[in-house]
Amino acid sequence: MVSAPGGRPPEPVYRPVLAARRGELEALTHLDDTAVGLLAPILDVTSDDPGTPEALGRLPAGILPAVDASALPDGPEHDPVRWGVPLVPVIGLAESDRRLAAHGAAARAWAGRAVVRLRTGPDRAGPDATTAAAERVWRSTGLVPEQCDLLLDAGDVCCPADVRLAEPRVRRAAQWARRHAWRSVTVAAGGMPPTLSRLPTDEPVRLDRYDWSLWQRLADLRLGYGDYGVGCAVRGADAPGDRLPTLRWAADGAWWVYRWARRGGRGDERLADLCRTLVSAPHWPAAGAGFSWGDHEVLRRARRGAGAGSEASWIAWSTSHHLAHVLATLARPDREQRGGSWWADQDAPAWGRAGRPQRGGESRRAG
């Protein structure tokens, strides 16, 4: 876990942005205690997720999810503060005054903090306009920058051209962010294509993780890391699959996508064949079934010890492995310290609200 200066509690090193669907939420329920302390999930809730409050109540006790309900209608009945479960509100820069007040109430009710989500594509504006929007958020919610984690959401990056386009946008946003005393700053992007139906079947297909590539190119900014798990960054664009057994297995810098269409047997036999192929591949983790709950479930199917599952199951297993893989990669001792908190660089100047170095070695975060 990343240590924070000044005796503050350590910060999570990974903030995945996940759809609040059954598969992703099930993966979160199977996190071990170590992973729980390193993970701060951000959940995108839509009107297609009616069971979200109950599902959040089943998450491990150490997880306090951040919830983005901006896709829900702007009415009091949809305010997360009414859900009765601990959460951190996610705030957009263009929220209504009514919703901002509700976000402030949610922040005060639970964690005393919020996530401010700045989309580096749609929210592009000059630094002064962005500051005005952020100040409106703080004024309407009753929060201050030190109570807010900033998420720089680069959106969809599915090819090298997307990465080249996103990088300067994130750099401009990060430069603006140094004007203010944020609790932390994270960049998130999604590299999974919206559909996999055009990929070959019955063989593993390698897809580059361009979200990871983007973060590596931004290493000098010392931003926290986030991604969209194994889902597409454009919510709603990742249309339901073609119902072929499909797994999306993270490895270093890539996903290996398995879509199995082999006929001549029941669905559980087809999935068993897929899983046997995966567990014999070079990118199967050395720890095997002990690497994550998802790896354990795959090995059970490879040995024909369980049924074929469903699309939600395949997403759950893939997400479970993905979360474990990212955390293991970020924890490698030989890596550059790219996943540190906004204040992790002790030699860098501390930045105050005016964008100028603070004097006397003061912390860049108040309190």
Domain definitions of the chain by residue range: 11-330
- Reference 150, options 114, 108, 111, 122; nearest CA is 114
- The Cα–Cα gap between 187 and 178 comes to 14
Highest averaged pLDDT of the listed ranges 153-162, 192-201, 342-351: 153-162
- The Cα–Cα gap between 228 and 231 comes to 6
Q: Buried b / exposed e across 342-365, counting CB within 10 Å, b at 16+? A: bbbbeeeebbbeeeeeeeeeeebb
- The Cα–Cα gap between 69 and 235 comes to 13
- The Cα–Cα gap between 247 and 241 comes to 11
Q: How far, in Å, are 22, 23, 47, 229 from residue 310 at the CA level?
A: 11, 9, 22, 18
pLDDT in tens, 40-88: 999 999 888 767 888 999 999 889 999 999 999 999 999 998 998 999 9
How much is the average pLDDT of 114-136? 90
- Three-state SS for 250? strand
- Global pTM reads 0.88
315 C-beta neighbours (distance < 10 Å), count: 29
- Which residue has tokens 């009415």? 75
How much is the average pLDDT of 209-234? 96
SS3 content of the chain, % helix, strand, coil (to 5): 35, 15, 45
- The Cα–Cα gap between 245 and 57 comes to 29
pLDDT in tens, 285-340: 999 999 999 999 999 999 987 888 899 999 999 999 999 999 999 987 654 444 44
Instruction: Report CA 130 to chain centroid distance, whole Å.
Output: 23
- Reference 104, options 84, 88, 119; nearest CA is 88
Q: Where are the alpha helices (DSSP H) in the chain?
A: 22-29, 33-38, 52-56, 97-109, 127-141, 160-177, 210-217, 267-279, 293-302, 311-330
Residue 207, pLDDT > 80, answer yes
Strand order in the sheet with 205-208: 205-208, 254-259, 246-251
Per CATH, the architecture of 11-330 is what? Alpha-Beta Barrel (3.20)
pLDDT at 18: 97
pLDDT in tens, 178-206: 999 999 999 999 999 988 989 999 999 99
103 phi, psi to nearest 5 deg: -65, -40
